[in-house]
Amino acid sequence: MGLLTQTDFQYYNNNEKFTATASQTVFTLTFDPLPSAEADFLLFIDGVEAADSLYTYNSSNGQITFSSGRSAGEIIEVKLKKSNAGNYRYIKLKDIVNNFIMAYVGEDKVIPKMKRNDVLYFAKRGIQEFSYEISRVEKIQEVEIPDTLSITMPKDFVNYVQISRIDDIGVEHPLVPARFTSNPSESVLQDNDYNYLFDNNDSLLTGSAEISKRFREASDADITNNDPTNDNDINHERITAFGKRFGLIPELTQKNGTYVIDELNGIINFSSDLVGTIVTIKYISDGLGTDDEMQVHKLAEDAIYKYIIHSVASTRTNYPEYLVMRFKKEKFAAMRNAKLRLSNLKVHELAQVMRNKSKQIKH
């Protein structure tokens, strides 16, 4: 059976149509993958959107069941809210597990006996590692900076790749992390004699960090300009003049803005010159955020199987050390090949980059 199960109409138009027969109540979707809930699609009857109360949806088999039979000749149209375009490049988690059990688990095979849940666990761990090392699931979130100068990390945030502000013509200007300030995890409250304060349970009292408050309230001049009147005031250095007595610091000789990531509270704070600015947050996810994200690029399919084999062998006592080392080498080679494949190097693109490197710079 071929891997392509959708028609061209379903793929390019992102919908599926049925012509009802007399009293027909059940219509089976053939999207790949199937919608996971009713909220993922819209249903129309002869061009008019149907109320949710008229039907139910079973996500396990893709069946839409109407509470009453439809009239003959009615056109039932199901339109997905999110496109499935490009999904053919990936293999789903359930297919990875099924393929692995079929090919590697059983009598006279690499792994004589293994529970499905164990395969599922190692497959998920493999997807996580591949997201960090090979395929790097990079997402982009666009946010407008509010007056508070703070935004919440994306819910599946693992690490950032780049944060940029967007100018009037949609060009990204990379921001730099503010390594010259930080977000303390707690600010200790003290009395007038600088003694620590405690509550009734003898726990230390804490409050909002003063350093974060000062950074957020800094004026635009403090962020981007030098003020000659304060040039000799060492306690009032401007960020762009940071270290000016010893020469400029390259990362600070720009006016794009800065940010501080509060790892403990899951907050990203921005400098005051970015209020009202639209920024993009490019970040890495672990690939396990939703069911649809638990997949591996087909160019790395062999590598995920080799990863699972080595993980299983290295955690069991009945595998001799030479086999574990062999599986480790096979995993390393497969992951290296996957990384090369997914690096997406194109000869003509590389040639253009190298031609640019050969330009003569006149002084």
What is d(CA 205, CA 199) in angstroms, rounded to the nearest whole number? 6
Q: Count of CB atoms within 10 A of residue 74's CB?
A: 14
pLDDT tens digits, 165-210: 999 898 999 998 877 777 777 788 888 888 888 888 888 888 877 7
In 3D space, the residue among 10, 54, 2 whose CA is nearest the CA of residue 30 turns out to be 10
Write down the residue that tokens 């000789």 correspond to: 253
Write down the residue that tokens 């995993």 correspond to: 331
Choose from 91-105, 216-230, 255-269 the range with maximum mean pLDDT.
91-105
- In the sheet with 159-166, reading across from the earlier edge strand, the strands are 138-144, 278-284, 159-166, 172-174
Q: Is the pLDDT of residue 355 over 70?
A: yes
pLDDT at residue number 234: 47
Contacts of 325 (CB under 8 A, 6+ apart): none
Write down the residue that tokens 């339109």 correspond to: 79
Mean per-residue pLDDT of the chain: 84
**Amino acid letter at 158?**
V
pLDDT at residue number 238: 52
Phi-psi region of 136 (alpha: psi -120 to 50; beta: other; left: phi over 0): left
Quick check: 238 and 218 in contact, CB under 8 A?
no
**pLDDT above 90 coverage of the chain, percent:** 36
pLDDT at residue number 313: 92
Q: What are residue 120's phi and psi, to 5 degrees?
A: -60, -40
pLDDT tens digits, 97-112: 999 999 999 988 999 9
In the structure, what pLDDT confidence band is assigned to residue 362 with cuts at 50, 70 and 90? low
pLDDT tens digits, 228-257: 455 545 444 555 555 555 566 666 667 788
Domain assignments of the chain as residue spans, ordered by start: 8-80, 94-131+297-339, 138-284
Q: Is the pLDDT of residue 280 over 80?
A: yes
33: preceding bond cis by omega (within 30 degrees): yes
Q: What are residue 49's phi and psi, to 5 degrees?
A: -65, 130
Averaged pLDDT for residues 222-233: 50
159: which 2 tokens?
Answer: 């690490």
pLDDT at residue number 282: 92
**pLDDT above 70 coverage of the chain, percent:** 87
Q: Is the pLDDT of residue 226 over 50?
A: no
Three-state secondary structure string covering the chain: CCCCCCCHHHHHHCEEEEECCCCEEEEECCCCCCCCCHHHEEEEECCEECCHHHEEEECCCCEEEEEEEECCCCEEEEEECCCCCCHHHEEEHHHHHHHHHHHHECCCCCECCCCHHHHHHHHHHHHHHHHHHCCCCEEEEEEECCCCCEEECCCCCCEEEEEEEECCCCCEEECEECCCCCCCCCEECECCCCCECECCCCCECEECCHHHHHHHHCCHHHHHCCCHHHCCCHHHCCHHHCCHHHCCCHHHCCCCCEEEEECCCCEEEECHHHCCCEEEEEEECCCCCCHHHCEEEHHHHHHHHHHHHHHHHHCCCCCCHHHHHHHHHHHHHHHHHHHHHHCCCCHHHHHHHHHHHCCCCCC
pLDDT tens digits, 140-174: 999 999 988 889 999 888 888 899 999 989 899 99
Directed axis angle between helix 301-314 and helix 93-104, to 10°? 60
pLDDT at residue number 116: 92
pLDDT at residue number 63: 93
Averaged pLDDT for residues 289-298: 82
Quick check: 176 and 258 in contact, CB under 8 A?
yes
